[in-house]
Chains A and B, each alone.
Chain A
Amino acid sequence: GDSVTQMEGPVTLSEEAFLTINCTYTATGYPSLFWYVQYPGEGLQLLLKATKADDKGSNKGFEATYRKETTSFHLEKGSVQVSDSAVYFCALRSTNAGKSTFGDGTTLTVKP
């Protein structure tokens, strides 16, 4: 079946540091890939997505590129802020759209 493997956390960075959270996947067909963010006490919300190979999703300074050759969708941000502290989930949605698979989540803490 489909699977998503995320870089283990927690990750602690200083403000303005560069962020990378690795995500690799296994899937049949051509899934869509997503990054969701969960702030404390809240549900998940979409951060960015990519629906085909070589697509780059971007939002709020975060970026991720759909790499079919390496089956990866790594999340990056050039300069993190304290407000970016949250749990980040990589996810894929299968082509039949019913099933969704999420990674274990990576907790990011940004210190001033």
Chain B
Amino acid sequence: EAQVTQNPRYLITVTGKKLTVTCSQNMNHEYMSWYRQDPGLGLRQIYYSMNVEVTDKGDVPEGYKVSRKEKRNFPLILESPSPNQTSLYFCASSLMVLAGYNEQFFGPGTRLTVL
């Protein structure tokens, strides 16, 4: 089944404790992206990657890191989480051929709480 998977689905942590949220897709998509969803703010793009070893900032990259060492994986790293990073996070992927026309496929989300 074609899908985007994220782990963990739920995470409660404390301020300053480094964490990684994994994202993997099995559709051979070149493009991957991370978003956060907050009430009243919709989805905001954190980082995206057009291909392996190519990443770029979205609208809200502060406090986050990403890496793209393999095509299928795109982990989101919070080196020192803070309470304002409490949010619902989504990973997404899409094809790059005629990329602007293509819809993104989303993972199920990771709900992160930073105390």
- Which residues of A pack against B, CB within 8 Å? 1, 6, 31-32, 34, 36, 42-46, 49, 51, 89, 91, 93-105
Contacts and interface: CB of A to CB of B under 8 A. Distances in A.
Contacts of B101: 32, 49, 51, 93
A43 B108 CA distance: 4
A6 B56 CA distance: 26
Contacts of B59: 1, 99, 101
A43 B106 contact: yes
A29 to B, nearest CB: 9
Contact of A89 (B33, B43, B58, B107): B43
B45 A99 contact: yes
A104 B41 contact: yes
23 contacts: A34-B103, A36-B103, A43-B109, A44-B90, A44-B92, A44-B104, A44-B106, A46-B103, A46-B104, A49-B101, A93-B99, A96-B100, A97-B99, A98-B31, A98-B50, A99-B58, A100-B33, A100-B104, A102-B42, A102-B44, A104-B41, A104-B42, A105-B43
